[in-house]
Chains A and B, each alone.
With several copies, the nearest count.
Chain A
Amino acid sequence: MKYTQGKYIIKNKSAIAKNTYSYTVRCPEVADIAQPGQFAHIRVDGFTLRRPVSICEIDKKCGTIRIVFEIRGNGTEELSKLNEGSLIDMLAPLGHGFTLNSKFKKVILIGGGIGTPPMLSLAQYYGEKSVAITGFRGAGSVILQEDFKNSGAENIVCTDDGSYGIHGFVTQPFGDILKKGGIDAVYACGPMPMLKKISEMSKENNIANCEISLEERMGCGIGACLVCACKTKKNDEEYFAHVCKEGPVFNAEEVIW
């Protein structure tokens, strides 16, 4: 694993939904090696622990990565106060990202709420071979739709309250597409109940490559402190994996729910 720590310039900041911010950060050495599904461990002034945030876009040419995050507590609130031109202290790129396979013909990307951002870099990789299904509480929290459209992915949006796109959960369109068959891989990030359901549906439909991105509270972020344990199966034995290093992306088969 290769990663680095540095203070990088925020080239672009935008508020993309209520309490949700997008930062584009110039960090060529990170962009150069980053993979979809990896994350940055971000230092926030006044806090002892860093905050993990997924890498949402990787632009190797411009030497930038993009992160998108929602204010959830004091740390993300403080983080949201940075401005264009400010320095952001990142330890990145960290973790084990999604398995990319240029031979795949059709993949489904599923993002739930603030789990959506890491799906964008996959959409940009797979382009027209991908269907992006994203789900949000309501119209007010819908994010990144323009970007998904630009990626070439087929784009399906759901909201819990029907105020935007399809009324209902992502599992509905997901089920419909599964039925049609021909799916090489499913990638998902979002709330645990959603991930569980998607894993089950993928298994029922014999999708070998179902990868999901998990969250766990972290210390070091690089695999040294064993703080971010998550129960998994390895060769059918129970195994405490570490989300920051062996994850955050796991094959759905490995996860113990």
Chain B
Amino acid sequence: MSDLSVNVCGVNFKNPIIPASGVFGYGREYEELFPLSALGGIATKGTTITRRNGNPSPRIAETPSGMLNSVGLQNPGIDKFIDTELPNLLKKNTVILANIAGSTIDECVKIAEKLSSTDVHMIELNISCPNVKQGGAAFGTCPETAGEITRKVKNVLPDKPLVVKLSPNVTNITDIAKSVEAGGADAVSLINTVLGMRIDINTGRPILKNNVGGMSGPAVFPLAVRMVWQTANAVKIPVIGMGGVSSGKDAIEMMMAGASAIQVGAAIFTDPFAPIKIIQEMNDFLDTKKIKSISDIIGSVKPW
């Protein structure tokens, strides 16, 4: 039994595996299958200042080794989240990352303010949602804006670790990461989804009602590993890696690339037990290789 615990900007995770924002809701449904305390943490569904209905359906499409989604941040709004979901989650003996998004900087700041007085463990600021018209990805693709929003949000969160979630739909991920680091982020997480499109050739119409959507799943894994590696080498703050992780081996690979913890998204749709299996497989790998602590492999890749 190896030591799977990791520390990400001061927060202790019993293991590095965190269901990603948006696929896991607030955990209620998965509790039927396994105890949430088995997880390193949980990233909750992206929350906005007020309730959002999201985009019209269909909101999902299958792609080779992956999927597209265009949910568009459907959520009950921050007040309801804090009142009805968060208290329950905080009882689950796992790290809670509250994922938030806003269509203006002000909105993001307001949401963060509301969370600052709660007991939530970390805030994950999504500046990279490709599925909403305003804000979302727009924030995440310009280094200056990304830095500014980080600074203003961190301002109201002096005592809470702020993780900023980055978009892969950019020319230079390290520019954004550095700017966010300079803005005061305590960690970055990446990647959010890759903007994609599918067309139903029988109807001649896009499969998603939103026309385009965010690609995730194993297909994006090599892109995510590359971006995690580049980012981990560019900033000093920890990187939470995600994008296509579906096995313990994938998680190990992404941690070798520089991730301090791992989020798991689409893989949970394929197999709802994926996070649990990944934890087990990571443990097996470490045991076989006689590595005592998972922390030893973070960023351990030796480039040629």
Contact = CB atoms under 8 A, between A and B. Distances in A.
Q: Do A and B touch (CB < 8 Å)?
A: yes
Interface of A: 1-5, 43, 47-50, 75, 91, 216-231, 238, 240, 245
B269 A220 contact: yes
Interface string B250-290: 00000000000000001011111100000000000000000
A228 B45 CA distance: 15
A47 B62 contact: yes
Q: Interface range on chain B: under 10, 10 to 19, 20 to 34, or 35 or more?
A: 35 or more
Interface stretch (B17-25, B80-88, B181-189): B17-25
Given A50-B269, A222-B272, A226-B25, A217 B66 contact: no
14 contacts: A1-B32, A4-B33, A43-B270, A48-B270, A49-B60, A216-B57, A217-B58, A219-B23, A225-B22, A227-B57, A228-B57, A230-B57, A231-B56, A240-B74
Q: Which 4 A-B pairs have the closest CB atoms?
A: A224-B25, A222-B29, A224-B29, A217-B58
Contacts of A220: 23, 25, 29, 268-269, 272
Contact of A48 (B30, B66, B273): B66
Given A2-B32, A240-B74, 13 more contacts: A1-B29, A48-B65, A48-B217, A49-B62, A49-B270, A75-B62, A220-B25, A222-B32, A224-B24, A225-B71, A227-B59, A229-B54, A229-B59
Most buried by B among A4, A5, A75, A217: A217
A216 B58 CA distance: 7
Interface of B: 22-25, 27-30, 32-33, 45, 53-54, 56-63, 65-67, 69, 71, 74-75, 217-218, 266, 268-273
Contacts of B273: 5
Contacts of B30: 222, 224
Nearest to B216: A48
A162 to B, nearest CB: 26
Nearest to A228: B57
A219 B69 contact: yes
B53 A48 contact: no
Contacts of A223: 25, 28-29
B27 to A, nearest CB: 8
Given A1-B32, A49-B60, A225 B270 contact: no
Given A47-B62, A240-B54, A227 B69 contact: yes
A30 to B, nearest CB: 13
Most buried by A among B53, B57, B218: B57
Given A224-B24, A240-B53, A240-B74, A218 B60 contact: yes
A47 B270 CA distance: 8
B47 to A, nearest CB: 12
A204 B25 CA distance: 39
Contact of B33 (A5, A50, A75, A225): A5
B247 to A, nearest CB: 11
